């Protein structure tokens, strides 16, 4: 009888563990975190998203934002004494922050954009690339 009880309790424990929030980096308010990310993207939440530069790499390969909404992108350079910035190539201009050595946080105001994709890169580290995905609203129903 004891072994049956153990066998039954293991699935229950696994189910309970799956329901917990194991994301230590999640935050509330107007910033984004790994909570709610789709496909590993930073997601604009409350008109702000954060992307981290660490070990000469971005922490995410993409940023997702809704179309038609201006937002602020926070660039969190955690590389000590290493210059980073972010450049976003739009159709008619390039948005960018200045090159600055970390640790430092920079803020970049991104205007409301139509749906589509735009690339981003660190000016002096061409391996640090990603895609800004401006998404149309989901259809209801």
- Asked if 82 and 56 count as a contact pair (C-beta separation under 8 A), the reply is yes
Read off the pTM: 0.71
CB proximity list for 24: less than 8 A, separation 6 or greater: none
Enumerate domains of the chain plus CATH numbers.
Answer: 25-135 (2.60.40.420)
Q: Which sign does the torsion angle of CA 91, 38, 129, 104 carry?
A: positive
Q: Spell out the per-residue pLDDT of the chain, length 141, in tens.
A: 444 433 333 333 333 333 333 333 333 333 333 334 456 999 999 999 999 999 999 999 999 999 999 999 999 999 999 999 999 999 999 999 999 999 999 999 999 999 999 999 999 999 999 999 999 987 665
Q: How remote is the C-alpha of 58 from its chain's centroid?
A: 9
The Cα–Cα gap between 85 and 45 comes to 22
């Amino acid at each position: 009888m004891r072994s049956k009880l153990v066998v039954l309790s293991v699935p229950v424990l696994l189910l309970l563990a799956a329901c917990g929030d194991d994301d230590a980096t999640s935050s509330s308010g107007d910033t984004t975190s790994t909570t709610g990310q789709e496909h590993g993207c930073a997601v604009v939440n409350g008109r702000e998203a954060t992307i981290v530069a660490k070990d000469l790499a971005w922490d995410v390969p993409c940023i997702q934002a809704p179309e038609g909404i201006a937002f602020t992108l926070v660039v969190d350079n955690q590389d000590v004494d290493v210059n980073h910035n972010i450049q976003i190539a739009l159709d008619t201009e390039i948005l960018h922050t200045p090159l600055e050595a970390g640790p430092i946080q920079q803020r970049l105001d991104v205007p409301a954009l139509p749906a589509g994709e735009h690339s981003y890169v660190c000016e002096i580290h061409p391996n640090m690339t990603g895609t800004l995905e401006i998404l149309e609203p989901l259809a209801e129903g």
